[in-house]
Structure formats: C-alpha cells, structure tokens
Amino acid sequence: MIYGISIITTTGYPYYNKDYALEPRNTILKNMFFNYSKSLVQTAQENEFELIAGLVSALFNFSGAQNRPINELVYTRPEYQIENLLDGQTKNETGTLITIRCEYYSIKAAVKRKLDYIYEKMIKPLEPLGDKSKLAPSEEKTIQDILLNMPSKLIVRSHSKELDAYLKRFIKDNNSYGIKAIAIASADLTLLKTAGITDEELQKLLRVVECPEVDPLSWKFRQAWTPDNQQVTLVFVNSAFNVEHDTLKEPLYYIILCDAYSAIGELPRQLFMDVNSILEK
C-alpha cells in the first residue's frame, strides 16, 4: 500500500507532493528514497562528519515536526564511480529525488519499477524541474493509477464473483492441508482481494515478516505469528500473470495463509494456474 509520493530536486526544490490515503496510526511505515541523479561529488574527509551531523539533525527535526519518528536509516554505496574535483572546483547539479511513503512490507524492487516508468515517461522530460515545469492533469492521474495499482484492481474487480467462489472453494477443499486463507496482491503487495481473512488481519501478519520478492511461477515461505501468538506460514506466490500499462508489466502475487509447517506440496502451482485461467477470460 502506497500512502503518498513526493518529488523534489536534489538541491531541495519541492516539485510535487500527493497523499493518497491516511497513514495507519502506531504502525511502522517506510519512507523509500529513489535518487535519479547519477553524478556525485566526492567530499573531503574532514567535511563528512559535518554533512552527516547536519543530515541527522535535519531528519530528527523533520520527523518530530511531522510526528513520524524515524528509527533507522538504510543506505547503499553506489556502484557508479564518484567524481573527484580538484581543489577550488565546484559542481552544480540538479537531479530528481522521489520519496514514497508506504507499508513496511512493500517490496522495494516492485515500487522502483513503477517509479522508473514514472520518471522516464513523465519526470525526465521536464528536467530541470522548477516552477515553470508542470505535470499535466492526465499525467498526475497516470502516476496515481500506477502507484495505486488501478490496472490490477480493475482486472481483479472484473472477475470478482468468479474469484470469490473459487478462492472459497480452494480453502474448503484444502483445509485438511492447513490452508486457512488466500489473497491476491499486486507486485508491491498491495492487497487486491482476500478470502478467509480480512485485509486488516492479513496486513498485521505481513507487517511482522520480511516479505520476499519471488521469481515467476515460484513461491517462498515465511513464518509469522498472529496477535494471539499462534505461529502460521505465509506462502508468497509469483503468478507470472502480468498486468500491463504501456511498457510497464507487473505480476500479480498470490498469498496463502496456512498452519505452521503445513505440507502443501504443489498446491501453490494449482492455485496460480486456476486463478490465472480465470483472469485470462
């Protein structure tokens, strides 16, 4: 679930901000940062502490003002080479930094694929961003549709009755294998349909596990604990059923909730074959 997006320049110009939903209270969420500027300037060793101290102070004050405490920062060293400047040289750079506010369990790689498309199609042609560069209303709607998985929601919604009947039957027929509930989700794990469990109940389970990205037509297991401390298994299935928007193609995920360490064999394969055939109609 994506709650909002912010687009700024790397020099700090606030270009675009949009909230899509209210954030749940007392729930750990993520701010994901995506930098679409590849050139960096090598800083002198003696200046690094001052930069880090300034960053930490700014983030602390910002998070306090927004009533969104930050508990950790995640960072990576870039694969590309950092430019070294000679003494006395300066470099001015304007790039784009996109921030996404989302559920802690959202799969970052799937979010990034959406933002790569948004950046290439709608943001990059406007660079350098400024007060004279504007997104068209149709482009703002496209950004919202992509981030909120509207193409996937429409496909699932158009087969809603048949999917409801099948998922309930699948749970009933395989109850002896410990299967309790099924969900259909987008590639970033936005819930699109649930059976045997409510969206809120499943979200509570997803928030306490490291949700994996899965290869097409494969599945991975994760252990979780319910609020009453019962251990269960979540099975994440990449259906390879791709929902397309222009050149952006994202697979649907199917999530199986079952008893801890259930021996479900090839049931995930049966699930994605059956559900895919319904969605293809």
214 and 105 belong to one structural domain: no
Listed residues 148, 170, 193: the one ending a domain: 148
Q: The pTM is what? A: 0.84
Same domain, 52 and 72: yes
Q: Are 146 and 118 in contact (CB under 8 A)?
A: yes
Tell whether 166 and 132 lie within a shared domain: no
pLDDT at 41 exceeding the cut of 70: no
- The confidence band for 44, taking pLDDT boundaries of 50, 70 and 90, is low
Per-residue pLDDT for 90 more than 50? Answer: no
Residue 46 backbone dihedrals phi, psi, to 5 degrees: -70, -15
Nearest to 91 by CA among 80, 104, 82, 103: 82
Residue 98 in this model has a pLDDT that exceeds 90: yes
**Top mean-pLDDT range of 29-33, 72-76, 169-173, 245-249:** 169-173
DSSP reduced 3-state for 40: coil
Q: The domain spanning residue 261 has which CATH number?
A: 3.30.450
Same domain for 113 and 126, yes or no, is yes
- The range of the structural domain enclosing residue 171 comes to 153-279
Q: Are 185 and 203 in contact (CB under 8 A)?
A: no
Residue 119 shares a structural domain with residue 180:
no
Cis, peptide link before residue 128, omega less than 30° from 0: yes
Co-location of 181 and 126 in the same domain: no
* Per-residue model confidence as pLDDT tens digits over 217-271: 999 999 999 988 899 999 999 999 999 998 999 999 999 999 998 999 999 999 9
Q: Is 140 found in the same domain as 21?
A: yes
Q: In the prediction, which pLDDT does 132 show? A: 83
Domain count, the chain: 2
- Claim to verify: residue 132 and residue 164 sit in the same structural domain: no
